[in-house]
Each structure stands twice: as C-alpha cells, then as structure tokens.
C-alpha cells in the first residue's frame, strides 16, 4: 500500500519492508561479529510495544546465545513527545552483572535512551549497548553513544513496523510518514 489512513491522519510509504529487512541484516551482522566469541549470555532488552517487530526480526538473524527481557516506557501522546519518560512496566528479570543490549524501535529526542541507561545502571547491569531500528539524527542531541543503528530518517512522524499513532498502525510491514 502506498498510503494508509489511521484515525484522522493519512500516511504515505517512506521505507519499504525490503529496505528495512536489509538494514536489519547489516545490524545483525555487526552484532554477530561483536558477540560471536562471548562466553556470557547477553540480554536483549525489548522496549515494548514498539520494538516487538524489530526484536523478532533481529533475533532470527543472531547466531549467539541471548536472553530476552522486556520493559515498557512511554513518552508520546498522539504525534509528539511529551518530553517526559514514564516507566509503564519494570524490567522482567534481574540484570545484575549482565551485558544488556537495548533494542529500540526509534531514537529521536533520546530521552528514553537516557532513562533506560539510568534504569540499567540502577539495576546493576555490567554494560549496556543501544541498538535501534531508526534514528532521527536531527532530533538526537544526547551524549549517549548508539552502538547499532539500522536506518537514519528525517525528523518526521512515522508509523508501521512496530511504530504507532495512538496505538494503531504497528502491524504494517512498511514504514509510513505523515502525508501533509
């Protein structure tokens, strides 16, 4: 579909699934090289709900042992960030002494990443890395290093491949941007 309508907004295709899949392949290849000889079992931290599709696709491509843990943070209302990050669900496992790879759907302002890094530090994680499907470089002004970035996109509101507009549109395999 070239365009989709969700509630009161129309979105046009920005990134086809084939491009998304190729970008995930590249990120997985880099992660596989970085973690291929690890003796511990790294933890993939799925940031719900947006990262579910990315996490599922990424995991299929990883060749090292890993464990999955989830958390849920919220910071959006409608099509814009509230600027405040709230933890809607805590970590689903003890991460003391563990290496954790945060798996995010998108990094824009970076507020969620900063909060996640603080949560992991307080939880006693030994190390933490950031893996994101999408990065909005024009919006990201934080000092936290992003270890794995699949795609860079403009600072536009998007839906699809896990990303939503008022909890709808996550199921589209392509990524769409607001059609103005």
**Residue 61 belongs to domain with CATH number:** 3.40.50.2020
Q: What is the pLDDT of residue 107?
A: 95
Q: What is the pLDDT of residue 85?
A: 73
Is 143 catalytic? The answer is no
Whether residue 8 lies inside any domain: the answer is no
Cut 0.75: pTM above it: yes
* pLDDT(104) > 80: yes
Whether residue 79 lies inside any domain: the answer is no
Whether residue 78 lies inside any domain: the answer is no
* Catalytic annotation, pick one of 108, 143, 147, 174: 108
Whether residue 162 lies inside any domain: the answer is no
Q: How confident is the model at residue 79 (pLDDT cuts 50, 70, 90)?
A: low
Tell me the mean pLDDT in the region 137-142: 95
Q: What is the pLDDT of residue 137?
A: 97
Q: What is the pLDDT of residue 128?
A: 97
Spell out the long-range contacts of 83-86 with Cβ–Cβ below 8 A and sequence spacing 24 or more: 83/109, 83/111, 84/111, 85/111, 85/112, 85/115
Average pLDDT score over the chain: 93
Q: What is the pLDDT of residue 76?
A: 58
Whether residue 161 lies inside any domain: the answer is no
Tell me the mean pLDDT in the region 148-173: 96
Q: What is the pLDDT of residue 81?
A: 59
Whether residue 30 lies inside any domain: the answer is yes
Whether residue 27 lies inside any domain: the answer is yes
Query: How many structural domains compose the chain?
Result: 1
Question: 39 lies in which domain range?
Answer: 17-72+88-153
* pLDDT(20) > 60: yes
Instruction: Quote the DSSP letter at residue 120.
Output: H
Whether residue 48 lies inside any domain: the answer is yes
């Amino acid at each position: 579909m070239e365009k989709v309508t969700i509630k009161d907004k129309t979105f046009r295709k920005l990134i086809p699934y084939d491009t998304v899949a190729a970008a995930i392949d590249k990120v997985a290849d880099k992660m596989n090289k970085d973690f291929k000889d690890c003796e511990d079992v790294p933890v993939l931290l799925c940031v719900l709900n947006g990262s579910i599709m990315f996490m599922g696709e990424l995991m299929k491509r990883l060749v090292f042992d890993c464990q999955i843990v989830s958390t849920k943070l919220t910071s959006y209302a409608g099509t814009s960030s509230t600027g405040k990050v709230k933890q809607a669900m805590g970590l689903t496992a003890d991460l003391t002494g563990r290496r954790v790879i945060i798996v995010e759907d998108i990094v824009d302002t970076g507020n969620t990443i900063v909060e996640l890094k603080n949560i992991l530090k307080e939880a006693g994680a030994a190390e933490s890395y950031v893996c994101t499907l999408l990065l909005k470089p024009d919006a990201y002004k934080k000092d936290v290093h992003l270890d794995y970035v699949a795609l860079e996109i403009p600072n536009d509101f998007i839906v699809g491949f896990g990303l939503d507009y008022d909890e709808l549109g996550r199921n589209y395999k392509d990524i769409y941007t607001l059609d103005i």
